[in-house]
Amino acid sequence: MKQQYNDRTIPRIALLLALLVAGCTPQQSLYKEDVTAKALTSGGTVHTRVLAAAEDWRNSGVEVAEGQEYGVTATGKWKTYGTCNVTGPDGVGMYGPLCFKLPLFPEVISGFSHSTLIARIGDEGAPFAIGDNLKFVAQASGPLYFRINDTYGATADNEGYADVEVTAFGGSQPEITTAPAAQTALAAQVAAAASGVPRVALVIGNSNYQQSPLKNPVNDANAMAESLRRLGFSVILKLDANQREMELAIDEFGRKLVGGQHVALFYFAGHGVQVDGSNYLIPTEAAIRRQSDVRYKAVDVGQVLGAMGEATDNLNIVILDACRDNPLPRSFRSSARGLAQVHGPKGTIIGFATSPGSTAADGEGDHGVYTKHLLESLPEPGISIEQVFKRVLQGVNAETGGLQTPWTESSFTGDFSFNPG
């Protein structure tokens, strides 16, 4: 069968020809200074800059010791080819309609995008992925090197850089970590991005209410946003938002979903109420003095579902940890507690912190009970979204002694995993 080419493959083919012509000429190092690697004492840090266009490995200046724990954080923007997307050192979001993987241009580490920050220990060490944040225990002693995960010999057209900080932690560790959890999460993030379907999330956490403040929603939202980012989502995060901020965020969220398929996720933690069968999310500054105020000073869940329904998404996920005790003044509270059932557009899964008409616990720890179990289950590799919600149901039921029963409604008939594994 004859190989078919289109205008998307031409840029990379042109680059290959250029490489073949120039392949006999060694690339001059872009790193001019000589760096001598030195051991770091506990708590010590070293900073270095890694260039996307550099072919050679960047000596970080750190001599790592076998069994010692280190942390690496990286910031910056870079890209690996003119038609590819700009990314951070995590490499997420690089590929697009005019930028995709070709066998002719393999990554240094398979399974991570070409624009992921990677490292190795010593001149002969096996490369491992760093992304934008990783803690690891050194499995050998030697200089720590960094590089972009782009094809050997194909970095000349790259742009940008990553600023990297290396920190040494406490004493040596008795066990060597061969697959750090952060690297597993990064693998999930890149696998999700490589699936070709963009993931977009709007996360809102409201704690600082004028009436009935809550302890955990801001913590919940921050943790959820971080977890979703590691799972390949582009996240809009709003904390202690007023009505206008919430509605603007929903509008921005909806605009991101227009054009092509997406996995769209909306998460809200805070106060929520039902009035006459409709569900409303309460902004932090809402001055609700009578029940009729809710319609004008809160945000109808229908606005979110409407934004999702207008887009051609293959999956919509709505998670409402918003069934805490009704914040309305006692003199005019509706007799209905918690939230009402919601019917979203086709292809929607809706997760409630508790069953319709019931209330949920804010949680004694740093997170609400429902979100705590979500955070534990979302990154689990290889399990379906239905299994995620089932595990959450089992965990919350067990922790609350059956007093809180999470609820899920679904019209999604496909297959989806947050972490394909």
Other CB atoms within a 10 A radius of the CB of residue 249 amount to 20
Task: Give residue 343's pLDDT.
Answer: 60
- For residue 86, give Cα distances in angstroms to 39, 95, 198, 258, 405: 34, 9, 15, 21, 43
DSSP H or E run through 310: none
Task: Give CA–CA dist 49/197, Å, rounded.
Answer: 32
User: Residue 147 is encoded by which pair of tokens?
Assistant: 């590089």
Residue closest to 167 by CA, chosen among 284, 269, 42, 61: 42
Hey, which CATH number is domain 197-410, 3.40.50.1460, 3.40.1160.10, 3.40.50.1220, 3.10.450.630?
A: 3.40.50.1460
CA 304 to chain CA centroid, nearest Å: 20
Q: How many CB atoms within 10 Å of residue 373?
A: 24
Q: What is the DSSP string of 187-206?
A: HHHHHHHHTSS-EEEEEEE-
Whole-number pLDDT of residue 185: 53
**43-178 has CATH 2.60.120.430 classification:** yes
> In sequence order, what are the beta bridge partners of 74?
164
Interhelix angle 369-377/217-230, nearest 10 degrees:
10
Positive or negative: CA dihedral 287, 292, 294, 296: negative
What is the three-class DSSP state of 276?
coil
Q: Distance between CA 359 and CA 83 in Å, rounded?
A: 50
Q: By CB neighbour count within 10 A (0-12 exposed, 13-18 middle, 19+ buried), where does 85 fall? A: middle
C-beta atoms surrounding 132 within 10 Å = 24
Q: What are the backbone angles phi and psi of residue 260, rounded to the nearest 5°? A: 85, 170
Domains in the chain: boundaries: 43-178, 197-410
User: What DSSP string describes 75-142?
Assistant: EEEEESSTTSPPB-TT-TT--BTTB---TTS--SSTTS-TT-EEEEESSSPPPEE-TTEEEEE-SS-E
> How many Cβ atoms sit within 10 Å of the Cβ of residue 13?
12
- Residue 65: what pLDDT? 93
CB 136 within 8 A of CB 114: no
* Residues whose CB falls within 8 Å of the CB of residue 339, separated by 6 or more in sequence, listed in order: 272, 273, 274, 279, 320, 322, 323, 352, 356, 357
The amino acid at residue 256 is K
Residues 6+ apart with CB under 8 A from 296: none
In angstroms, the CA 208 to CA 198 distance is: 32
* Cβ contact 354:323 at 8 Å: yes
pLDDT at residue 133 in the model: 85
Against a cut of 0.75, is the pTM above it? Answer: no
Adjacency order of strands within the sheet including 159-168: 45-51, 159-168, 69-79, 133-137
For residues 332 and 360, is the Cβ–Cβ distance under 8 A?
A: no
What string of pLDDT tens digits covers the 421 residues of the chain? 333 434 444 444 444 444 343 333 345 567 767 788 899 988 899 999 999 999 999 999 999 999 899 999 999 999 998 888 899 998 877 877 788 777 788 989 876 789 989 999 999 999 988 888 888 888 899 999 999 999 999 999 999 999 999 999 865 443 333 344 445 555 555 555 545 688 999 999 999 988 788 888 999 999 999 999 999 899 999 999 999 999 999 988 888 887 667 899 999 999 888 777 778 899 998 877 777 788 888 898 888 888 887 666 578 999 999 865 555 554 444 445 555 556 666 788 999 888 765 666 655 678 889 999 999 999 999 899 999 999 999 998 888 888 888 888 888 888 899 988 6
Cα dihedral sign, 379-381-385-387: negative
Name the CA dihedral angle for 319, 325, 327, 332, rounded to a multiple of 10 degrees. 120
CA distance 153 to 23: 8
pLDDT recorded at residue 3: 38
Query: What is the Cα–Cα distance from 248 to 236, expressed in whole angstroms?
Result: 11
